[in-house]
Amino acid sequence: MNFLCFRVTGGELFEDIVAREYYSEADASHCIHQILDSVHHIHQHDIVHRDLKPENLLLASKCKNAAVKLADFGLAIEVQGDQQAWFGFAGTPGYLSPEVLRKEAYGKPVDIWACGVILYILLVGYPPFWDEDQHKLYQQIKAGAYDFPSPEWDTVTPEAKNLINQMLTINPAKRITAQEALKHPWVCQRSTVASMMHRQETVECLKKFNARRKLKVHFMVTHTHAHSILILHTQRLCFFSLLTGGHPHHHALQDKLAPEIIKITEQLIEAINNGDFEAYVKICDHGLTCFEPEALGNLVEGMDFHRFYFENLLSKNSKPIHTTILNPHVHLIGEEAACIAYIRLTQYVDGQGRPRSSQSEETRVWHRRDSKWQNVHFHCSGAPAAPLQ
């Protein structure tokens, strides 16, 4: 399996919608049709995106009726068919499914839940679940507490609401699949089922919704260093495609750089095991972002979060630790960046002197500056990285 990146120049779908002179329920149907078609494609190849949201829906070009593409597969996972398992807490708060919030086994249905949230926004310009308090937001989602309030929903057809209800079904086993959703009358028979009435109020609400999103993105970009430029550049220019084969130059570069990435990853983990914060800092970018169990579902930036564990746990641990990297897969992002995904198996001795093991699925993004590789992003699903208590 290879990742192939293409340049997409049309910008965000949601920004394009608010610039249109005319936008109807039928247009929303066309949008979700394309999104579902892409989701169905990746699900057929046993890939779960896990982070579907407006920011990751891009247009292939600036031409009218340009195709919608899925972007940013940084949190994507590979599953076995309809496999349900706990792959870790990952995603964006307002688009997380109930099963993820409950830390239950999950799979492809999480993408359909996110599509349901997106469709709701496409129709009225605001999300079905919203609260400034994240705990209250999560409670809403777990309870499936949304409705179709007047007057904005009065002009939406019952078929559209029916599809949303099937997408936002709490029980993932009963949730509609991408393939089934593509056959829903509101999607496949839009010319006769979906309303053609212009939805000006939706456009106005979408403008406000987009402004709030941009404010959050501006805050993140303002407080992030060069590695963010790399990550944002990647997600803006790339969408996912599953292919066999590839360009000979890419294979040669892959063969050359993959061992380097694996080696530097092993060196970083060795620094962690040895409690050597100085060595760890030299390998990591000072603005390193991470998403791991210890952060309780939050994206953490900088070294202070890691310094605490080194100074209060890792450096004081005298018990032996041994880590093995299993099934490492390296994907290049040009010649100066790479992503490595692997299973980290850690053997250690607990407080009672008993041998223990823990396993986690990890992804690291590396960026090369002045011939030196630095870790700019880290994502971990599973057990905490240093279960030494």
Catalytically annotated residues: 51
Matching residue, tokens 């990746």: 42
Q: How far apart are CA 69 and CA 2, in angstroms?
A: 18
* Gyration radius of the chain over CA positions: 22
For 13-65, the DSSP string reads HHHHHHT-S--BHHHHHHHHHHHHHHHHHHHHTTEE-S--SGGGEEESSSSTT
Q: Under a CB-based contact definition with an 8 Å cutoff, are residues 186 and 24 in contact?
A: no
Residue 372, helix vs strand vs coil: strand
The dihedral over CA atoms of 303, 78, 71, 372, expressed in degrees to the nearest 10, equals: 40
Name the residue type at position 36: L
Helix (H) or strand (E) run with residue 69 in it: strand 68-70
Q: Could you say which DSSP state residue 313 is in?
A: I
First to last CA, the chain: 39
How far is C-alpha 29 from the chain's CA centre?
24
Q: How far apart are CA 64 and CA 10, in angstroms?
A: 10
Q: How far apart are CA 95 and CA 140, in angstroms?
A: 12
